[in-house]
Structure 1
Amino acid sequence: MPDLIVSFTKMEGAENDFIVVDNRFFHFTDAELQTLARRWCPRRRGVGADGVLALHPSTSNSAQGDAEDPASPTPSPDFRMRYVNADGSMATMCGNGARCLARFAADAGLGSPQQDYTRLTFETDAGRYTADVPDTPEAPVRLWVPEPSRYQARISPDTASTAGFDWHQVWSGTEHIVAFTDSEAALSEAPLETLAPPLRHDNAFAPEGTNVNLAAVLNEHTVRMRTYEKGVEAETAACGTGVLAVVAIALKQEQITPPATIHTPGGTFQSGPAADGAPPALWYLDGPARTVYQGTLAWTP
């Protein structure tokens, strides 16, 4: 069978980087997207990325979804997002990926144009989300999200005794655990690359596993954090759902007051409960979403 020439867009959100494919035209199956991710995401043998984002046509015409405010009607979704980690595993949600794919979709003409931004509603395996994409390419994209849930304080995974931290669990579109260090210096010095893998695979989080976050509260409005991402199996420059998890737990523990600014190695985010008015969802996540370049690759099944 001859090679298929696949056009793709490389995007990044706070250095969390992605290969973006418009699957309305290529019709890759999930299995093919998983193969594509394993083949193209390696840094020295492929394009290099933390995962693959695929824009699918919407599969639903219903006007309500899990990630929307149940009190307000919502439009039919503009597209469906599928996300595959670099190791080929499917993920329910990716906050940075969602913002990047929303900008990609807006650039492709999807969504509802407003005065100075485009609003998009889209489906994910974690529910339905809304994003506001500014007309200015450098401006941060706002992702409206449900309030993080399934909070559990001071969980007791098998590896906790060797970790030396109090771990807290929360769902922010995918699985996360969070611990806080005593200082910014302690956060920088923590051996996350050796600390995280046993926790990521701990039986307490089977079968999905969990992402692992360390954070330091700098003041009542500011947090610095690091994330080890499952599926990438390494520390990444940023993680959008990890930002949501850290803010949610810091608020639960009354360590911060919204609005919150979160610094990651790759960039800065703002997040927290929505302000007054009638927003599309209960929380928001603001952060960068940028097109890096476009290219083509030959695909052989």
Structure 2
Amino acid sequence: MRRLVLEFTKMHGAGNDFVVIDNRFYHFDDAQLSEMAARLCHRRLGIGADGLLALCLTDEDTEPDLDFRMRYFNADGSLGLMCGNGARVLSRFAHESGIRKPVLRFDTSAGLYHAMVPEDADLPVRLSMPLFQDYRPDVFVSAEAYSAMGPIDYVFTGTQHAVAFVADVWEFDVAFWGPLLRWHPVFAPYGINMNFVGVMDSGSDTSPAHLRIRTYEKGVEAETLACGTGALAAAIVARTRHLVHSNHVHLSPKGGDIEVGFTFAEGVFSALYQAGPTATVFRGSIYL
């Protein structure tokens, strides 16, 4: 039986890397995309990536204002509700694939998003973000966790996140605490992506704040080089807790820089966005 040859593009956003396919032509269903993600994202036996992004068709009759649909699967094959870096990457891929508009509007498992993709591929893609949900401060996990990192806040920014601020984020033991908190029963049934954050500069009305961040991601089950929705969660928690004093936050994960901005007035957030780099690493084909 002749095997299907899949054309793919390897891309990343701030080091968060993806296998990207144009599913407008293949029409893979979710079960097939899930199996494909687990296989292709394997670092040793596949292409290697944090997840699989699929550019999918929309229903022109019921969704005339949408340009495409985003399907995202984690490296373990689980469906990802949302991925900020992935959304920027897929928007760049859509732009390069001929969907060229001033603003791209698309659907995800977490709702509707829109992105501004500049012609210059070296410039950041700007992604408008919906309001976050279900903010829960001071989630108690254990006395040991509180001693190691202080309070932990939960917030849903398109997917489940927890945020803790630590004294030295680069030296913090993410390999130990990340999986322990990711699977902790207090975050059941979905678990969380765990973000460890350090405040480098609190900023002001006239200057941006600066945070360092490391994220242990569910579905990847490891620390990734960057997480877009995690960057948004960290900025929201930092501003809410008055650890930063600017509505523009510069975040430095290991893989590259991400900018988060919003309006914050009388304790209420609006006009949230993030901006960051996207890059094409290589294109190729693989037998399925």
Name the SS for the 2:287 alignment partner. strand
Structure 2: which amino acid aligns with 1:129? Y
Aligned to 2:205: none
Alpha-carbon deviation of 1:274? 5.2
Whether 1:192 aligns to 2:208 is no
Equivalent position amino acid for 1:291 in 2: T
Aligned to 1:180: 165
* Preserved CA contact (<8 Å) 1:53 1:81: yes
| Separation in 1, partners of 2:254, 2:61 | 39
What secondary structure, in the 3-state scheme, does the structure 2 residue paired with 1:137 have? coil
- Output the amino acid matched with 1:288: P
1:126-137 counterparts in 2 under 5 A? 126-137=110-121
SS in 2 for 1:91: coil
- Confirm or deny that 1:162 pairs with 2:141: no
State whether residues 103 and 114 of structure 2, in contact with CA within 8 Å, keep that contact through their aligned partners in structure 1.
yes
Corresponding letter in the other structure for 2:285: T
Give the total of aligned pairs. 273
| Residues 130 and 272 in structure 2, CA contact (< 8 A), matched pair in contact too | yes
Counterpart amino acid of residue 195 in structure 1? W
- Whole-Å Cα distance in 2 between the matches of residues 59 and 247 of structure 1? 35
Is 2:237 the counterpart of 1:255? no
Structure 2 partner of 1:215? 197
Aligned Cα root-mean-square deviation (Å): 1.5
Distance 2:214 2:181 in 1: 15
Partner of 2:267 in structure 1? none
Q: Do the aligned residues in 2 keep the contact of 1:155 with 1:168 (CA within 8 Å)?
A: yes
Normalization by structure 2: what TM-score?
0.91
Contact kept? 1:93, 1:125, Cα under 8 Å = yes
Instruction: Please state if 1:234 is matched with 2:222.
Output: yes
Query: Cα 1:208–1:60, aligned 2, differ >3 Å: closer, same or farther?
Result: farther
Range with greater deviation from structure 2 (141-150 or 76-85): 141-150
Q: Is the 8 A contact 2:247 2:263 kept in 1?
A: no
The 1:28/1:62 distance shift into structure 2, 3 A limit, reads: closer
2:5 alignment partner AA: I
- Structure 1 segments of 4+ aligned residues over 3 angstroms from their partners: 59-63
**Residues 255-294 of structure 1, C-alpha deviation per residue, up to 9 Å, x if partnerless?**
111211111100111102059xxxxx82110001111111
Percent of matched pairs sharing the same residue: 44
Structure 2 letter corresponding to 1:156: F
Q: Which residue of 2 aligns with 1:78?
A: 67
For 1:3, the equivalent position in structure 2 comes to 3
User: Does 2:213 match 1:225?
Assistant: yes
Question: Are the aligned partners of 1:248 and 1:272 in contact in 2 as well (CA < 8 Å)?
Answer: no
Secondary structure (helix, strand or coil) at the match of 1:154 reads coil
Deviations 1:36-95 (A, max 9, x none): 1111111111111000000110147567xxxxxxxxxxx711000000000000011000
Structure 2: which 5+ residue stretches go unaligned?
Answer: 203-208, 265-269
1:94 partnered with 2:83: yes
Q: Which amino acid is the alignment partner of residue 10 of structure 1?
A: K
Residue in 1 that maps onto 2:98: 109
Deviation of 1:188 (Å):
1.2
- Asked whether 1:291 is paired with 2:273, we answer no
Where 1:187 maps in the other structure, the secondary structure is coil
**Aligned residues of 1:178 and 1:213 also touching (Cα < 8 A):** yes
Q: Which moved more, 1:160-169 or 1:133-142?
A: 160-169
